[in-house]
């Protein structure tokens, strides 16, 4: 027997309320007697207490049964015949790694799934789905139960956030389209209601949890090698917690701090002056329900030596950047662009040039030719005056725009979304945008050559833009599931996953889309190693206090599901009605049983 | 009009009975009860030395022949009887109803009264009530006054609380002649209360008979099981009581113990005692039970 509306069973908790009328002291029958002499020893004086001893007449048990039947009827009990063609959707999102009495939720989900499959007959068919990174079937043809059990056992949860999905509508729709007799969703979300075709099985309870929500490792500035790290922790519990944060570099502890995070709030802690390591990891030392989000990874910020590739027809102007400490620039002519190996550069400056497609590294476009993918150019103007600028912004800080003069400029006409950083009466002069973590800046004027103190506003702006690009190469991480752009792949390049597994990268592959696990991904490219950090960034997965319930409507049924159900709650309602009639019939008669009640008032008066 | 039990046949039967007293009283007229005085009855009392002037008919010649001394035989004086019937008319006598307890109690009193009247003795009815003012009839004599007795007794309505000894004391203050006292009550009061009352009657040199009147509902209460609020009919005191078969047995055991204490006290004090449950036949009670306790000659 199952219940289509199991929430109704909570009504059984209200059954004890039926006792209240019986607990409340009813005014007892008042009977006059000649003398109370012989009763005084064992009687008690009348009191005004509202509560008395429980005196449960037989009618109480009739009422109890009536109420219980009604509650069970509201829960819509059904006898179901076991389906043979089912689908099981396993929630493999990051929150399924939370521990329930030392056991991960996903392991519990697999046990429930295996149990469901085990109840199928030999001729049963099972389709298996995973919810992340997107809801999709993990095999082509329907599986036999034994085969499905093996596949279920091999599944692992991803360190990914669950994509927003309306399961309330999706499950019945999927069951109808794929002609499943029943579809099970095993998740850590609570269910609100069940339907014949779609069942939600909930594993796990609301729990307190802490999470590292931010880790950023960067250098103080372009010319300062001192490292800084900022860690943010969130406390998803009902009480304040003192958390110990440990910063590690290549597995070795570098520093640790303690911070108090208020209930439901975040706290941040900063580390400074630690050793330079290729990769960093912050960790919460305290134990909680979800260990996954207690760790967060970041790669080391770029070396303070910024390697720049300049594509310019006028290399001498770009060479002036060599006057800035830590900047190494190599220039090529635009015609040599295709033949040049462009790996290892932190910034590409396209001086009066533009590539056919946006480069995978940060790029500065200075007066690009017409029909650039980012901007179009307006009519040239001379001695343009800056009329507006973004502040505060890294690009505009410390720049005195009253003295900022460009002898030649072409206003920009942005063709894509981004920020207009510097504006003039003729139009935008600086346009910044960011795509997949890569920053692009387009200027409608030429800030070069770098003249140092001879043109302070422009020099400050130039240093700012280098800082801005430099910051983009800081140790920021991206979310799990985001692709790792591989650039130009050569034979022999390998990608090492956080678990240590090494993948050979096919030449020509532009990106790696399987970064579903949190940690450091290492791209071995010839002799060099590039590192990419991926972290679980969705606080919804870390907040285990109250998952969003899944509301399943009972109205829609798949074509094959109607025959699987024998609903008998109407019979319970009929039984309840009969009990009600019985109570109505019995109650007044039980009250009027002829007990002797003392002399009538009329007799006493006569 | 006489109440229903008092049929001509019943009255005729009553006329055959005479009250028995265990004390001698000074009567006002010649009667059938012995007096402490010497008189002219046939019952020998004593001898005394002859003094001149004594009636020679009473000389005991047998003694003179044996002792050569003259003695005169003395005989008891037989006088009429003054009887006082005290009827408890408190509220408890109206339980479960006046018809089921008080009137049967008056029927007992009237039956005894008729016996007294039929013997040309004096009877006076006293109602024991809390109310101010003594309710007592005049002395009745002769069976024709039976109707007056009935009217007096039937006119009363039980009510109020009763303190037995003070109520009796008030009535006894008006008594001028000793005699027979018959106390009719349910005696549902503490032992000290009824003992004080009965002792008061004893102190007035009355020959006492106590008749306890209980209704069937008092002997065997039939309340609905469960919680009850029992109200004392006299004091209005209310108690909570959980009634059950066990409680009923407990009550009956206490009532039996209470009655046994009353009977024991009466026995020790020389008081006739009998219990009349009102659903019993009055004739059976009067002609079988009361003679058995020695109330009648």
Domain CATH code at residue B119: 3.40.50.410
B66 and B105 within one domain: no
**pLDDT tens, chain B, 297 aa long:** 788 889 999 999 999 999 998 888 777 788 878 777 777 777 788 899 999 998 898 899 999 999 999 999 988 888 888 999 999 999 999 989 999 999 999 999 999 999 999 999 999 999 998 866 778 999 999 989 999 999 999 999 998 899 999 999 999 998 888 899 999 999 999 999 999 999 999 999 899 999 999 999 999 998 888 888 899 999 888 888 888 888 899 999 999 999 999 999 999 999 999 999 999 999 999 999 999 999 998
C-alpha of A406 from chain center: 47
Contact call for A36 and B237, based on CB within 8 A: yes
Q: What is the pLDDT of residues A270-324, one digit of tens each?
A: 998 888 888 899 999 998 999 999 999 998 776 556 789 999 999 988 888 888 8
Q: Are residue B98 and residue B138 in the same domain, yes or no?
A: yes
Q: Say which of A27, A35, A45 has its CB closest to residue B232.
A: A35
Residues of B in contact with A34 (CB under 8 A): 91-93, 95-96, 101, 186, 188, 215, 218, 233-234
- How far does A56 lie from chain B, in Å, by closest CA? 10
By Cβ distance, the residue of B97, B188, B228 closest to A29 is B228
Statement to judge: residues B121 and B58 lie in one domain: no
B1 touches chain A (CB under 8 A): no
- Compute the Cα dihedral for B135, B141, B147, B148 and give only its sign: negative
Total count of domains within chain B? 2
Q: Same domain for B44 and B127?
A: no
B96 touches chain A (CB under 8 A): yes
Please give the backbone phi and psi of residue A13, each rounded to the nearest 5 degrees, phi first. Answer: -65, -20
Query: Which chain B residue has the Cα nearest residue A42?
Result: B241
Same domain for B63 and B187, yes or no, is no
Does B188 contact chain A (CB < 8 Å)? yes
DSSP state of A161: P
**Statement to judge: residues B178 and B237 lie in one domain:** yes
pLDDT confidence band for A599 (50 / 70 / 90): very low
Alpha-carbon distance A44 to nearest alpha carbon in chain B (angstroms): 5
User: Chain A closest CA to B191's CA: distance in Å?
Assistant: 10
Question: Do B240 and A604 make contact, defined as CB atoms within 8 angstroms?
Answer: no
CB contact under 8 A, A33 and B234: no
Residues B126 and B201 in one domain: yes
Predicted TM-score (pTM) of this structure: 0.49
Q: Do residue B143 and residue B248 come from a single domain? A: yes
* Selected residues 259-278 of chain B with any CB under 8 Å from a CB in chain A: none
Residue B297 lies in a domain: no
A595: nearest CB among B222, B231, B233: B222
Q: Is A592 on the interface with B (CB under 8 A)?
A: no
Whether B68 and B197 map to the same domain: the answer is no
Does residue B16 sit in the same domain as residue B145? yes
Whether residue B286 sits in one domain with residue B165: yes
Residue A31 to residue B189, Cβ atoms within 8 A: no
Q: Is A453 on the interface with B (CB under 8 A)?
A: no
B110 within a domain of the structure (yes/no): yes
| Domains of chain A in sequence order | 2-78+569-605 (no CATH), 84-206+545-554 (3.40.50.410), 220-302 (2.60.40), 306-472 (3.40.50.880), 480-532 (no CATH)
Rounded CA-CA distance B25/B121 in Å is: 12
pLDDT per position as a tens digit, A514-526: 889 999 999 888 7
For residue A561, what pLDDT is reported? Answer: 47
Is B52 domain-assigned?
yes
Are the CB atoms for A92 and A136 separated by under 8 Å?
no
Residue with tokens 């304040």: A240
d(CA A11, CA A32): 44
Kindly state whether residue B218 falls inside one of the protein's structural domains.
yes
Of the candidates B274, B271, B297, the one whose C-alpha atom is nearest the C-alpha of residue B284 is B274
Contact A33 B255 (CB under 8 A): no
Give the distance from residue B221's alpha carbon to the nearest chain A alpha carbon, in angstroms.
8
Is there a contact between B189 and A43 if contact means CB atoms under 8 Å apart? no
Q: How many inter-chain contacts (A to B, CB under 8 Å) are there?
A: 121
Please tell me the distance from the alpha carbon of residue B245 to that of residue B247, in angstroms, as a whole number: 5
B208 falls within a domain: yes
Give the C-alpha separation, A503 to A500, whole Å. Answer: 10
**Model confidence pLDDT, tens digit, residues A97-134:** 999 988 999 999 999 999 999 888 777 899 999 998 88
Q: Which of residues 53-92 of A touch B (CB under 8 A)?
A: 55
State which residues form the domain around B42.
31-79
Domain assignment present for B133: yes
Determine the distance in angstroms separating the CA of B178 from the nearest CA of chain A, rounded to an integer: 32
Per DSSP, the residues of B146-195 read HHHHHHHHHH----S---HHHHHHHHHTT--S--EEEEEE---S-HHHHH
Q: Which of B224, B226, B239 sits opposite A40 (nearest CB)?
A: B239
Asked, for residue B3, whether it belongs to a domain, the answer is no
* Domain membership flag for residue B2: no
Question: Nearest Cβ partner of B233 from A34, A41, A47?
Answer: A34
A residues 34-53 closer than 8 Å to B (CB): 34-47, 52
Long-range contacts of B280-287 (CB under 8 A, 24+ apart): B282/B5, B282/B10, B282/B104, B282/B107, B282/B108, B282/B111, B283/B5, B283/B10, B283/B13, B285/B108, B286/B14, B286/B17, B286/B108, B286/B111, B286/B112, B287/B13, B287/B17
Q: Dihedral of CA A388/A391/A394/A398: which sign?
A: positive
A424-428, A463-467, A470-474, A578-582: the lowest-pLDDT one = A470-474
Q: Which two tokens stand for residue A397?
A: 């800080």
Q: Which residues of A touch B222 (CB under 8 A)?
A: 595-596
Partner residue facing B223 (CB), from A595, A600, A604: A595
Name the residue of chain A whose CA is nearest to B188's CA.
A35
What residues pair up with B135 in beta bridges, in sequence order? B127
pLDDT band per the 50, 70, 90 thresholds, residue A428: very high
What's the complex ipTM? Answer: 0.85
Distance, in angstroms, between B17 CA and closest chain A CA? 33
Do B153 and B246 share a domain, yes or no? yes
- Mutating which of A29, A33, A52, A57 best tests the B interface, going by the most B Cβ atoms within 10 A? A33
Task: Write out the DSSP string of A89-115.
Answer: EE--SGGGG-EETTEEHHHHHHHHHHH
Q: Do B239 and A598 touch (CB under 8 A)?
A: no
Scan residues 17-36 of A and list those with Cβ closer than 8 Å to B. Answer: 26-36
Q: How far is CA A295 from CA A200, A251, A492, A538, B70, in A?
A: 31, 12, 31, 13, 144
């Amino acid at each position: 027997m199952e219940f289509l509306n199991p929430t109704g069973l909570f009504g059984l908790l209200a059954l004890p309320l039926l006792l209240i009328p019986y607990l409340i002291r009813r005014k007892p029958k008042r009977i006059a007697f000649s003398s109370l002499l012989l009763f005084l020893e064992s009687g008690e004086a009348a009191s005004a207490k509202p509560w008395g001893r429980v005196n449960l007449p037989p009618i109480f048990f009739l009422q109890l049964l009536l109420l219980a039947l009604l509650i069970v009827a509201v829960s819509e009990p059904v006898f179901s015949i076991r389906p043979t063609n089912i689908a099981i959707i396993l929630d493999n999102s990051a929150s399924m790694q939370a521990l329930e009495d030392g056991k991960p939720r996903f392991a519990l989900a697999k046990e429930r799934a295996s149990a469901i499959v085990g109840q199928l007959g030999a001729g049963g068919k099972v389709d298996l789905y995973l919810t992340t990174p997107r809801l999709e079937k993990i095999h082509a043809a329907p599986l036999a139960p034994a085969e499905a059990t093996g596949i279920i056992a091999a599944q692992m949860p991803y360190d990914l956030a669950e994509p927003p999905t309306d399961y309330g509508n999706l499950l019945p729709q999927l069951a109808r389209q794929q002609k499943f007799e029943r579809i099970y969703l095993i998740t850590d979300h609570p269910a609100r209601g069940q339907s014949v075709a779609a069942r939600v099985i909930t594993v796990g309870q609301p729990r307190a949890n802490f999470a590292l929500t931010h880790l950023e490792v960067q250098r103080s500035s372009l010319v300062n090698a001192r490292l800084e790290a900022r860690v943010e922790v969130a406390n998803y519990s009902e009480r304040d917690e003192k958390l110990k944060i440990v910063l590690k570099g290549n597995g070795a502890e570098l520093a640790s701090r303690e911070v108090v995070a208020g209930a439901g709030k975040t706290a941040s802690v900063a580390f400074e002056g630690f050793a330079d390591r290729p990769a960093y990891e912050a960790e919460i030392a305290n134990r909680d329900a979800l260990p996954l989000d207690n760790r967060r990874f970041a790669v080391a910020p770029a070396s303070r030596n910024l390697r720049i590739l300049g594509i310019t027809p006028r290399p001498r102007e770009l060479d002036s950047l060599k006057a800035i400490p830590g900047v190494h620039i190599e220039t090529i002519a635009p015609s040599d662009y295709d033949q040049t190996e462009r790996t290892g550069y932190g910034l590409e400056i396209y001086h009066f040039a533009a590539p056919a497609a946006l480069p995978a590294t940060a790029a500065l476009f200075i007066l690009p030719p017409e029909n650039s993918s980012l901007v179009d150019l307006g009519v040239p103007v001379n001695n343009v005056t800056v009329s507006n600028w973004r502040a505060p912004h890294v690009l505009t800080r410390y720049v005195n725009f009253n003295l900022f003069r460009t002898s030649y400029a072409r206003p920009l006409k942005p063709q894509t979304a981004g920020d207009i950083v510097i504006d003039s009466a003729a139009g935008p002069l600086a346009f910044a945008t960011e795509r997949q973590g890569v920053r692009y800046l387009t200027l409608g004027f030429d800030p070069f050559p770098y003249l140092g103190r001879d043109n302070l506003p422009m020099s400050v702006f130039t240093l700012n833009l280098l800082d801005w690009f430099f910051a983009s190469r800081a140790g920021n991480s991206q979310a799990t599931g985001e692709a790792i752009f591989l650039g130009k792949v050569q034979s022999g390049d390998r990608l090492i996953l956080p678990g240590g597994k090494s993948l050979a990268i096919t030449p020509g592959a532009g990106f790696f889309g399987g970064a579903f696990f949190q940690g450091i991904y290492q791209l071995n490219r010839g002799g060099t190693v590039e590192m990419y950090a991926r972290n679980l960034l969705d606080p919804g997965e870390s907040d285990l206090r109250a998952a969003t319930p899944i509301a399943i409507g009972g109205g829609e049924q798949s074509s094959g599901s109607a025959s699987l159900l024998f609903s008998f709650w109407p019979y319970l309602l009929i039984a309840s009605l009969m009990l009600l009639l019985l109570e109505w019939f019995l109650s007044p008669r039980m009250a009027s049983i002829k007990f002797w009640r003392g002399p009538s008032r009329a007799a006493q008066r006569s | 009009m006489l109440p229903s039990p008092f049929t001509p046949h019943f009255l005729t039967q009553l006329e055959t009975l005479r009250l028995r007293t265990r004390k001698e009283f000074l009567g006002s007229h010649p009667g059938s009860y012995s007096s402490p005085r010497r008189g002219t009855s046939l019952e020998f009392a004593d001898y005394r030395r002859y003094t001149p002037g004594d009636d020679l008919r009473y000389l005991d010649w047998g003694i003179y022949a044996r002792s050569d001394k003259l003695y005169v035989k003395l005989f008891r004086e037989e006088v009429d009887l003054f009887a006082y019937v005290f009827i408890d008319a408190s509220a408890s006598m109206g339980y479960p109803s006046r018809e089921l307890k008080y009137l049967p109690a008056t029927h007992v009193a009237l039956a005894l009264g008729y016996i007294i009247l039929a013997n040309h003795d004096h009877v006076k009815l006293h109602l024991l009530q809390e109310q101010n003012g003594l309710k007592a009839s005049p002395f009745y004599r002769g069976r024709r006054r039976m109707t007056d007795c009935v009217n007096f007794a039937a006119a009363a309505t039980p009510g109020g609380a009763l303190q037995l000894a003070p109520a009796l004391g008030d009535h006894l203050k008006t008594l001028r002649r000793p005699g027979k006292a018959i106390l009719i009550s349910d005696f549902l009061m503490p032992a000290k209360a009824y003992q004080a009352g009965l002792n008061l009657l004893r102190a007035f040199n009355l020959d006492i008979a106590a008749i306890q009147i209980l209704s069937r509902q008092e002997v065997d209460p039939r309340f609905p099981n469960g919680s009850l609020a029992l109200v004392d009919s006299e004091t209005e005191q209310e108690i909570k009581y959980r009634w059950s078969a066990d409680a009923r047995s407990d009550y009956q055991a206490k009532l039996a113990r209470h009655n046994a204490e009353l009977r024991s006290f009466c026995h020790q004090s020389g008081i006739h005692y009998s219990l009349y449950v009102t659903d019993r036949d009055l004739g059976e009670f009067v002609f079988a039970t009361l003679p058995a306790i020695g109330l009648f000659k």
